[in-house]
Amino acid sequence: MQLNITEKAKQELVAGGVGKDAYLRLEVIPGGCAGMSYSMLLDDQLNEGDQLIFQEQEFRVVTDPESVQYLDGLNIDYSDDLVESGFRLSNPNAQHSCGCGSSFSCG
């Protein structure tokens, strides 16, 4: 499982609360015009079957068993430009994405 998170994205996530008592929950959910979308949220509860997919010291990322297959190779970056600031998720395994870039499909 390869998950790439830039230093800028890590800094923003830590500032948002990811750390000792909470982790980033990353999931793939149905939706968007291409079929699937990413969901990122701060969580402090593990569900049965959750998988730890990234850890650096107290910085942890978990996902559910259904999402893990779509997250291998995912790149998470953060942009603070004036036009479109925020997290940018890109996956080299996605075969199609919608025009706005908020959803993707694999297959």
Residue-wise pLDDT tens digits, 12-22 = 999 999 998 99
53 contacts: CB under 8 Å, gap ≥ 6? 1, 3, 26, 61, 62, 63, 68, 71
Predicted TM-score (pTM) of this structure: 0.82
Q: Give the model confidence (pLDDT) of 78-97 as tens digits.
A: 998 888 789 988 887 765 55
Rounded CA gap, 45 and 70, in Å? 22
Residue of 92, 88, 57, 95 lying closest to 73 (CA atoms): 92
Render 15-60 in DSSP notation, one character per residue: HTT-SSS-EEEEEEEE-STTSEEEEEEEE--PPTT-EEEEEETTEE
Place of tokens 């890109």: 90
User: In terms of CATH architecture, what is 3-105?
Assistant: Sandwich (2.60)
Domain segments of the chain as ranges: 3-105
